[in-house]
Structure 1
């Protein structure tokens, strides 16, 4: 029977995770970032499923040949995940394997569902590869600001709740982010219009989350705010980690323009939660 672990039990899964793929899994297991973990056995887990706290997907980990887990997972998704997903308006199950051997298992276990797939790219950046000269020059009406405690006390910022909301998708509290993460935003006419911050952190590796509001896209704001984020990382001997869909050409372009190099790819799978 698949069961949910309590947060203080997450450590039982640490040795089951492939450290050389998604850092998000480790971040949840080490309770750096929020998430839920479901396993085949509460005392001695062999296989499990991580539900990322930002509702941005699920990660299968451990023994992919665990027949008991694979036999039960569809029923568990229908009876437990679907009702919980409805509470947060989540309509799609987007899952990845923590190692590539999961790919065939996922396709087989969910072959009765309308299963789609995509390719995800992961980039990292070394100091020696950083294209400092690619930092764009933009309109003087845009100001780059570090995300720190004083920013949240600025009553002139019209949409500070937008920034708070984005951070809280990944972090338990704003304080947790400020203690562990790095972030920059761009302000235009007292409005946050572009952000780049640590979504997940494991050790000195900072997984980037970046977003620009639609009316301000196409102005190289993402590239500019990412430069400031990368500079801060390198100054603190942190490793910037960029994870995006292969089909997301604007995100790929920003990463490669800064000098990020692709280190691996993995496949994601999706189906409608009904």
Structure 2
């Protein structure tokens, strides 16, 4: 695994376009919208790729037959040199790579519910779901549901107040970058940030939605209100809303369906320990 220099990221573009699952986080790196890392088998003519987002999401794809790369990959995934100090979530959308991972690490695989986040030598497996937005369904649902929450465009004060894992600062280089190139909507409870829906990635005509809700306000409609506002923004500005989540993230999965998204594709999702 060789670290690819940024000036050579263009060598990844055509290969990445062959990936059909949601990979906007990887594209964000390749087009240098956020700082990440790209590892390849050969920097001159790369055919195998491992793209790592700073939010600890990674994408593995390309040629599976490079023995030297694969050896380094196994050491990396097992964290043998202790380079990783946090969990990492890996997607390998191609069947050939899923087979390689199963053959190599099958005895270490464990279901998420069996490991429960323990730090050990196991690789947790869950399922990641890609959704497709159904505008007609969203509009029908919106017509039946009255949003009674105060929702405003996310400003700098809200940005600084948002707490949690899925928040803008984990997906954009900095606050200025987010407000210049992204967008968010925040639902308020007594002027306190209850939930924020924001663009985790924007490319061409697609906007991927990130959502974080403060613990005291979960299950009270604040996330639905914030997401609805962001989806309406997408519709008004000709963006296709995108949504992906773990299947066992029941809250996110149900919220997506309630907003008119329909599950279209699933793939294994590997949590790498450290």
* CA distance 1:66–1:39, change in 2 (3 Å): same
Equivalences, count: 255
Residue 45 of structure 1: CA displacement?
1.1
Separation (CA, whole Å) in 1 of partners of 2:191 and 2:54: 30
Range that drifts further, 254-263 or 99-108: 99-108
Separation (CA, whole Å) in 2 of partners of 1:199 and 1:109: 33
List alignment gaps of at least 5 residues for structure 2.
109-121
Separation (CA, whole Å) in 2 of partners of 1:241 and 1:127: 12
Range that drifts further, 106-115 or 16-25: 106-115
**Normalization by structure 1: what TM-score?**
0.84
What secondary structure, in the 3-state scheme, does the structure 2 residue paired with 1:110 have? helix
Structure 2 partner of 1:132: 142
**Normalization by structure 2: what TM-score?**
0.84
Structure 2 partner of 1:206: 207
Separation (CA, whole Å) in 1 of partners of 2:145 and 2:28: 30
What secondary structure, in the 3-state scheme, does the structure 1 residue paired with 2:49 have? strand
Range that drifts further, 165-174 or 45-54: 165-174
* CA distance 1:50–1:167, change in 2 (3 Å): same
Conserved 8 A contact 2:163-2:214: no
Residue 164 of structure 1: CA displacement?
11
Structure 2 partner of 1:67: 67
List alignment gaps of at least 5 residues for structure 1.
none
* RMSD, aligned CA: 2.3
Residue 97 of structure 1: CA displacement?
0.6
Structure 2 partner of 1:123: 131
What secondary structure, in the 3-state scheme, does the structure 1 residue paired with 2:21 have? coil
Q: How does 1:1-274 map to 2 (within 5 A)?
A: 2-17=1-16, 18-23=18-23, 24-55=25-56, 57-77=57-77, 78=79, 82-83=82-83, 85-86=84-85, 90=86, 92-111=87-106, 113=108, 114-130=122-138, 131-138=141-148, 142-147=149-154, 151-152=155-156, 160-162=160-162, 166-273=167-274
Residue 26 of structure 1: CA displacement?
1.9
* CA distance 1:137–1:76, change in 2 (3 Å): closer
Deviations 1:191-245 (A, max 9, x none): 2120101112221111111011101111011111110010000111101111011
Conserved 8 A contact 1:32-1:202: no
Conserved 8 A contact 2:186-2:196: yes
* CA distance 1:31–1:229, change in 2 (3 Å): same
Residue 67 of structure 1: CA displacement?
2.6
Separation (CA, whole Å) in 1 of partners of 2:227 and 2:182: 14
Separation (CA, whole Å) in 1 of partners of 2:54 and 2:264: 25
Conserved 8 A contact 1:34-1:170: no
